[in-house]
Amino acid sequence: MIKPHVIVLGNEKGGSGKSTTAMHIIVSLLQAGLSVAAIDLDGRQKSLARYIENRQSFAVKHGLNLLVPSIDVLQDIDEATDKAAFAAVFDKVSVAQVVVIDCPGRDSVLSREAHGHADTLITPMNDSFVDLDLLATIDPETFKVIKPSFYAELIWKCRQERARRDKGNVDWVVLRTRLSHLEAKNMRRVGAALTELAKRIGFRVLPGLSERVVYREMFLKGLTLIDLRDVAKTGESMTMSHVAARQELRDLVTALKIPCMATEHSAMAQTS
């Protein structure tokens, strides 16, 4: 059996856009013709699972043919149970080409298991030193990186373990999400610290989803930016801002360089 490509959304902070980004990536990959299995490890909030359930309900209600991934939800119980439950679910969904795992915004056994299986690890962060603090301690005078954080050390260990287990690499991508154009100076400083840190602890920095009200509104209907044109008959409309946002999302998914996506594209190009 071919191993799926595993995308993990993780950081140790709530509200940075993990679940919203996960859903947009999932629907983008489904749209590209890939089979996708989703796993929600935030058994308390279940944001991703609820997003997907809302999508199913909306599709049924309006007779729409929306692409929906499979979804499994896991809850924290105790270390042995969580490890066994993760392994069982992971094994079950490994028939999909891509597995997308959404982690809670805190350290947990389930979250560590997921990080240990990542091929692509996506860490969305807002552009502030509060969020950057999750990756490293920054000098308040010089804005230089003093030392990597607990989370960065966790990724370091996951990478070592992964290399030992199957010589695999983890492509760690830090997404600068919800960039606000009002704070140019802060953005530059965070950007400089991130560039320094990226070299030091080994991640790529990509622009994530920008701040738009539409991301908050679509959750209840389970929709993503990718769907808006196709669901026009339900009263949704596509504005210029949505078109720009869709392009940002496309650029992001391309920049993630998911290996099976390249194969799918070349297969599509050959048949068209």
Ligand X SMILES: Nc1ncnc2c1ncn2[C@@H]1O[C@H](COP(=O)(O)OP(=O)(O)O)[C@@H](O)[C@H]1O
Q: Which residues lie near ligand X (CB under 6 A)? A: 14-20, 47, 105, 177-178, 209-212, 215-216, 219
Question: How near is the Cβ of 182 to ligand X at its closest, in Å?
Answer: 14
Which residues, in sequence order, are bridge partners of residue 100?
7, 38
Contact 149, 140 (CB under 8 A): no
Question: How near is the Cβ of 112 to ligand X at its closest, in Å?
Answer: 17
Burial of 165 (0-12, 13-18, 19+ CB in 10 A): exposed
- The vertex-9 CA angle with 125 and 138, nearest 5°, equals 30
Question: How near is the Cβ of 133 to ligand X at its closest, in Å?
Answer: 16
Contact 162, 211 (CB under 8 A): no
Q: Which residue's CB is nearer to ligand X, number 53 or number 196?
A: 53
CA pair distance 154, 107, nearest whole angstrom: 10
Q: Which residue's CB is nearer to ligand X, number 115 or number 162?
A: 115
Question: Which of Mg ion, ligand X, none does residue 16 bind to, with CB < 5 to 8 Å depending on kind?
Answer: ligand X
Question: Which of ligand X, Mg ion, none does residue 28 bind to, with CB < 5 to 8 Å depending on kind?
Answer: none
- Closest-by-Cβ residue to Mg ion is 19
Binding site for Mg ion (CB under 5 A): 18-19, 47
Question: How near is the Cβ of 174 to Mg ion at its closest, in Å?
Answer: 17
- The vertex-64 CA angle with 48 and 74, nearest 5°, equals 20
Question: How near is the Cβ of 72 to Mg ion at its closest, in Å?
Answer: 15
Question: Which of Mg ion, ligand X, none does residue 224 bind to, with CB < 5 to 8 Å depending on kind?
Answer: none
Q: Which residue's CB is nearer to ligand X, number 115 or number 178?
A: 178
Q: Which residue's CB is nearer to Mg ion, number 106 or number 157?
A: 106
Give the distance from CA 201 to its chain's centroid: 20
Question: Which of ligand X, Mg ion, none does residue 259 bind to, with CB < 5 to 8 Å depending on kind?
Answer: none
By C-alpha distance, which of 175, 177, 159, 157 is closest to 167? Answer: 159
The angle, 0 to 180 degrees and rounded to 10, between the axes of the packed helices 109-117 and 79-93 is 40
Question: How near is the Cβ of 11 to ligand X at its closest, in Å?
Answer: 7
